[in-house]
Amino acid sequence: FPSHDIVRQRLDRKGIIHTVSYARAKRIMQLSEYKEVMIGHDRKWLSKTTREFKNASPPRYLVSPSVTTGYDFPMEQAEVQIISKIAFPDGRTSAIKARMKNDPEYAYYVTMQEIVQASGRGMRSEEDQCEVFIVDDHWAWFSRRYRKFAPRWFTEACVNFMGPG
């Protein structure tokens, strides 16, 4: 798990580790040296787990593939987020194939919107603060090539947005 240092240096707060699947969430929780401060869930227990996480005291990290949209974690509820893997849409589905036939960059637009949405879960107002770390190696090329799909406020807030090289 490439984010041990991020968690280690932020055990004074709460955060979210975004995964692209329940299998990845489970693997992160099993392999992390910080699994005792992590809380995960399966599809059935998402609402209960998010309530438990919101009410918990630091250090606590929610490990989930399911909170990139539709959930708010303002202020101290989440001051750190780690995007462990970029969620590219499945290009094998007929819907994505059809949309990409009309717009070859459609999947990349959707991917950037997912990243922006995930990043916003812990940043809910001008008074709020939340660090976001994208630890997927694909971010370097993806951010350079598809920066155009991110809102300006997002690119202006990014440090090393363009990645190495």
Q: Is the pLDDT of residue 130 over 90?
A: yes
- Rounded to the nearest integer, the mean pLDDT of the chain is 92
Band of the pLDDT at 163, cuts 50, 70, 90? very low
Q: What percent of the chain has pLDDT over 70?
A: 95
Phi, psi of 60 (to 5 degrees): -155, 135
Both tokens of 47, joined, read 């609402």
Tokens 């090329």 belong to residue: 141
**pLDDT at residue 64 in the model:** 97
| Beta strands per DSSP E along 3-121 | 14-18, 38-39, 60-64, 80-83
Q: Is the pLDDT of residue 60 over 50?
A: yes
Handedness of CA 71, 74, 78, 80 (dihedral sign): positive
Q: Is the pLDDT of residue 162 over 70?
A: no
For 92-128, what is each residue's pLDDT tens digit?
899 999 999 999 999 999 999 999 999 999 988 889 8
Q: Is the pLDDT of residue 161 over 70?
A: no
Band of the pLDDT at 59, cuts 50, 70, 90? very high
Band of the pLDDT at 2, cuts 50, 70, 90? low
For 3-41, what is each residue's pLDDT tens digit?
788 999 999 999 999 999 999 999 999 999 999 999 999
Nearest Cα to Cα of residue 158 among 125, 119, 127, 107: 119
Q: How far is CA 62 from CA 68, 102, 150, in A?
A: 12, 37, 25
pTM of this structure: 0.91
What is the DSSP secondary structure assignment for residue 159, as one 8-state letter? Answer: S
**Interior CA angle at 121 toward 119 and 124, to 5°?**
105
Which helix (H) or strand (E) segment holds residue 27: the answer is: helix 22-31
Nearest Cα to Cα of residue 84 among 37, 154, 133: 133
Nearest Cα to Cα of residue 21 among 56, 53, 68, 59: 68
**pLDDT at residue 1 in the model:** 60
